[in-house]
Amino acid sequence: MKRHNGMRPQDIAILLKLVAIGDIEWRQQVLANTLYVSASEISESLNRSRIARLIDHDKKRVNRQSLFEFLKFGVRYVFPQEPGGMSRGMVTGISHPFMKDFFASEYTYVWPDLKGEYIGLTIEPLYDNQPKAAREDSLFYKLLALLDVVRVGKVREVDVALNELKNIVLSEPSNQPIQN
Protein backbone atom coordinates (compact mmCIF):
# COMPACT_ATOMS: atom_id res chain seq x y z
CA MET A 1 0.00 0.00 0.00
CA LYS A 2 1.27 3.45 -0.94
CA ARG A 3 2.14 5.87 1.81
CA HIS A 4 0.30 9.18 2.06
CA ASN A 5 2.73 12.06 2.53
CA GLY A 6 0.08 14.76 2.48
CA MET A 7 -1.90 16.47 -0.21
CA ARG A 8 -0.21 18.73 -2.74
CA PRO A 9 -1.79 21.88 -4.18
CA GLN A 10 -2.18 20.36 -7.65
CA ASP A 11 -4.29 17.57 -6.11
CA ILE A 12 -7.04 20.10 -5.45
CA ALA A 13 -6.83 21.43 -9.01
CA ILE A 14 -7.08 17.88 -10.38
CA LEU A 15 -10.14 17.13 -8.24
CA LEU A 16 -11.77 20.40 -9.35
CA LYS A 17 -11.11 19.46 -12.99
CA LEU A 18 -12.90 16.15 -12.38
CA VAL A 19 -15.82 18.08 -10.89
CA ALA A 20 -15.83 20.35 -13.95
CA ILE A 21 -15.96 17.45 -16.44
CA GLY A 22 -18.71 15.60 -14.56
CA ASP A 23 -19.51 11.92 -14.85
CA ILE A 24 -18.08 11.24 -18.28
CA GLU A 25 -15.48 8.55 -18.86
CA TRP A 26 -11.95 9.93 -18.81
CA ARG A 27 -8.43 8.61 -19.15
CA GLN A 28 -5.47 9.76 -17.10
CA GLN A 29 -3.48 10.74 -20.20
CA VAL A 30 -6.28 12.99 -21.50
CA LEU A 31 -6.63 14.53 -18.04
CA ALA A 32 -2.88 15.12 -17.96
CA ASN A 33 -2.99 16.78 -21.38
CA THR A 34 -5.85 19.12 -20.45
CA LEU A 35 -4.19 20.13 -17.17
CA TYR A 36 -0.68 20.35 -18.62
CA VAL A 37 0.83 18.00 -16.03
CA SER A 38 2.51 14.64 -16.46
CA ALA A 39 0.49 11.43 -16.49
CA SER A 40 2.58 10.16 -13.57
CA GLU A 41 1.62 13.23 -11.52
CA ILE A 42 -2.04 12.56 -12.29
CA SER A 43 -1.63 8.97 -11.11
CA GLU A 44 0.17 9.97 -7.90
CA SER A 45 -2.37 12.72 -7.22
CA LEU A 46 -5.33 10.39 -7.64
CA ASN A 47 -3.70 7.95 -5.24
CA ARG A 48 -3.20 10.69 -2.62
CA SER A 49 -6.83 11.75 -3.08
CA ARG A 50 -8.00 8.14 -2.72
CA ILE A 51 -6.09 7.74 0.54
CA ALA A 52 -7.56 11.06 1.77
CA ARG A 53 -11.01 9.74 0.76
CA LEU A 54 -11.60 12.62 -1.64
CA ILE A 55 -12.06 10.19 -4.54
CA ASP A 56 -13.50 6.68 -4.57
CA HIS A 57 -11.46 3.48 -4.36
CA ASP A 58 -11.45 3.08 -8.17
CA LYS A 59 -10.18 6.67 -8.52
CA LYS A 60 -12.98 7.57 -10.91
CA ARG A 61 -15.60 9.49 -8.88
CA VAL A 62 -14.92 12.47 -6.66
CA ASN A 63 -16.43 12.24 -3.18
CA ARG A 64 -18.10 15.58 -3.65
CA GLN A 65 -19.29 16.11 -0.08
CA SER A 66 -15.83 15.37 1.33
CA LEU A 67 -14.20 17.63 -1.26
CA PHE A 68 -16.56 20.48 -0.45
CA GLU A 69 -15.90 20.09 3.28
CA PHE A 70 -12.16 20.24 2.61
CA LEU A 71 -12.57 23.32 0.40
CA LYS A 72 -14.72 25.01 3.06
CA PHE A 73 -12.81 24.11 6.20
CA GLY A 74 -9.30 23.04 5.26
CA VAL A 75 -7.87 24.52 2.09
CA ARG A 76 -7.13 27.98 3.52
CA TYR A 77 -5.05 26.34 6.26
CA VAL A 78 -3.34 23.64 4.21
CA PHE A 79 -2.62 25.86 1.17
CA PRO A 80 -2.62 29.41 2.55
CA GLN A 81 -1.94 32.34 0.31
CA GLU A 82 -1.28 36.05 0.65
CA PRO A 83 -1.34 38.38 -2.32
CA GLY A 84 2.17 39.20 -3.50
CA GLY A 85 3.71 41.87 -5.70
CA MET A 86 2.36 43.29 -8.92
CA SER A 87 2.45 41.11 -12.01
CA ARG A 88 0.87 40.67 -15.41
CA GLY A 89 -1.58 37.81 -15.41
CA MET A 90 -4.99 36.21 -15.58
CA VAL A 91 -7.61 37.54 -13.13
CA THR A 92 -8.58 35.36 -10.20
CA GLY A 93 -10.26 35.53 -6.83
CA ILE A 94 -12.52 38.53 -6.32
CA SER A 95 -11.37 39.87 -9.71
CA HIS A 96 -12.94 36.92 -11.59
CA PRO A 97 -16.03 38.06 -13.57
CA PHE A 98 -18.39 35.98 -11.38
CA MET A 99 -17.21 37.71 -8.19
CA LYS A 100 -17.20 41.17 -9.80
CA ASP A 101 -21.01 40.85 -10.05
CA PHE A 102 -21.11 40.89 -6.23
CA PHE A 103 -18.18 43.04 -5.11
CA ALA A 104 -16.19 46.02 -6.26
CA SER A 105 -12.54 45.95 -5.25
CA GLU A 106 -9.81 48.51 -5.44
CA TYR A 107 -7.37 45.66 -6.15
CA THR A 108 -7.03 43.29 -9.06
CA TYR A 109 -5.75 39.81 -8.28
CA VAL A 110 -3.98 37.74 -10.92
CA TRP A 111 -2.18 34.46 -11.48
CA PRO A 112 1.18 35.36 -13.03
CA ASP A 113 0.90 34.69 -16.76
CA LEU A 114 2.78 36.38 -19.60
CA LYS A 115 -0.33 36.04 -21.79
CA GLY A 116 -2.48 37.75 -19.14
CA GLU A 117 -4.32 40.94 -19.95
CA TYR A 118 -4.29 42.47 -16.47
CA ILE A 119 -1.80 43.87 -13.99
CA GLY A 120 -2.53 43.09 -10.37
CA LEU A 121 -1.48 41.60 -7.08
CA THR A 122 -0.16 38.09 -7.51
CA ILE A 123 -1.92 35.04 -6.13
CA GLU A 124 0.23 31.99 -6.76
CA PRO A 125 -1.69 29.28 -8.63
CA LEU A 126 -1.91 25.78 -7.20
CA TYR A 127 0.45 24.56 -9.93
CA ASP A 128 2.54 26.12 -12.68
CA ASN A 129 0.37 25.50 -15.75
CA GLN A 130 -2.91 26.37 -14.06
CA PRO A 131 -3.57 29.58 -16.07
CA LYS A 132 -3.00 27.70 -19.33
CA ALA A 133 -5.45 24.94 -18.35
CA ALA A 134 -7.99 27.42 -16.97
CA ARG A 135 -8.04 29.39 -20.24
CA GLU A 136 -9.37 26.26 -21.98
CA ASP A 137 -12.18 25.40 -19.52
CA SER A 138 -14.39 28.18 -18.15
CA LEU A 139 -15.97 26.08 -15.38
CA PHE A 140 -12.57 24.87 -14.18
CA TYR A 141 -11.36 28.48 -14.24
CA LYS A 142 -14.36 29.62 -12.19
CA LEU A 143 -13.82 26.85 -9.61
CA LEU A 144 -10.15 27.79 -9.19
CA ALA A 145 -10.94 31.50 -8.92
CA LEU A 146 -13.62 30.81 -6.30
CA LEU A 147 -11.10 28.72 -4.40
CA ASP A 148 -8.71 31.69 -4.41
CA VAL A 149 -11.46 33.78 -2.80
CA VAL A 150 -11.67 31.17 -0.04
CA ARG A 151 -7.88 31.31 0.35
CA VAL A 152 -7.47 35.12 0.47
CA GLY A 153 -10.91 36.75 0.67
CA LYS A 154 -12.78 38.63 3.35
CA VAL A 155 -15.67 37.00 5.21
CA ARG A 156 -18.49 38.23 2.94
CA GLU A 157 -16.49 37.40 -0.18
CA VAL A 158 -15.71 33.91 1.13
CA ASP A 159 -19.40 33.33 1.90
CA VAL A 160 -20.39 34.12 -1.70
CA ALA A 161 -17.56 31.96 -3.09
CA LEU A 162 -18.42 29.02 -0.82
CA ASN A 163 -22.08 29.23 -1.75
CA GLU A 164 -21.22 29.03 -5.44
CA LEU A 165 -18.66 26.26 -4.85
CA LYS A 166 -21.34 24.34 -2.96
CA ASN A 167 -23.79 24.79 -5.84
CA ILE A 168 -21.28 23.45 -8.34
CA VAL A 169 -19.43 20.78 -6.35
CA LEU A 170 -22.52 19.25 -4.74
CA SER A 171 -24.78 19.46 -7.80
CA GLU A 172 -25.51 16.50 -10.01
CA PRO A 173 -22.55 16.02 -12.35
CA SER A 174 -22.95 17.10 -15.94
CA ASN A 175 -21.63 15.17 -18.86
CA GLN A 176 -19.41 17.86 -20.30
CA PRO A 177 -16.91 16.22 -22.66
CA ILE A 178 -13.27 16.61 -21.69
CA GLN A 179 -11.22 18.51 -24.23
CA ASN A 180 -8.05 16.86 -25.50
End-to-end CA distance of the chain: 32
Residue 140 amino acid letter: F
Same domain (yes/no): 63, 23: yes
The DSSP code sequence of 41-66 is HHHHHHHHHHHTTSB-TTS-SB-HHH
Q: In the prediction, which pLDDT does 173 show?
A: 67
Q: Domain residues for 145?
A: 86-169
Query: In this structure, is the dihedral angle defined by the CA atoms of residues 89, 92, 98 and 100, taken in order, positive or negative?
Result: negative
**Residue ending a domain, choose from 78, 103, 129:** 78
Residues 6+ apart with CB under 8 A from 33: 180
**Residue ending a domain, choose from 22, 46, 78:** 78
Say which residue, 62 or 179, is predicted with more confidence.
62
Same domain (yes/no): 92, 68: no
Same domain (yes/no): 91, 165: yes
Mean pLDDT for all residues in the chain: 93
Distance CA 93, CA 174 (A): 24
Same domain (yes/no): 69, 96: no
Domain contains 98: yes
**Residue ending a domain, choose from 52, 78, 104:** 78
Distance CA 52, CA 136 (A): 28
Domain contains 2: no
Same domain (yes/no): 41, 74: yes
What are the tens digits of pLDDT across the range 60-117? 899 999 999 999 999 999 999 999 999 999 999 999 999 999 998 889 999 999 999 9
Mean pLDDT of 163-167: 97
Q: Give CA separation, 92 vs 5, 58, 115, in Å.
A: 29, 32, 14
With CA atoms as reference, report the closest residue to 50 among 62, 64, 37: 62
Same domain (yes/no): 165, 106: yes
pTM: predicted TM-score of the whole model, two decimal places = 0.92
Q: In the prediction, which pLDDT does 180 show?
A: 44
Measured at the CA of 109, the angle between CA 104 and CA 111, to 5 degrees, comes to 150
For residue 117, the tally of other CB atoms under 10 A from its CB is: 10
What are the tens digits of pLDDT across the range 116-152? 999 999 999 999 999 999 999 999 999 999 999 999 9
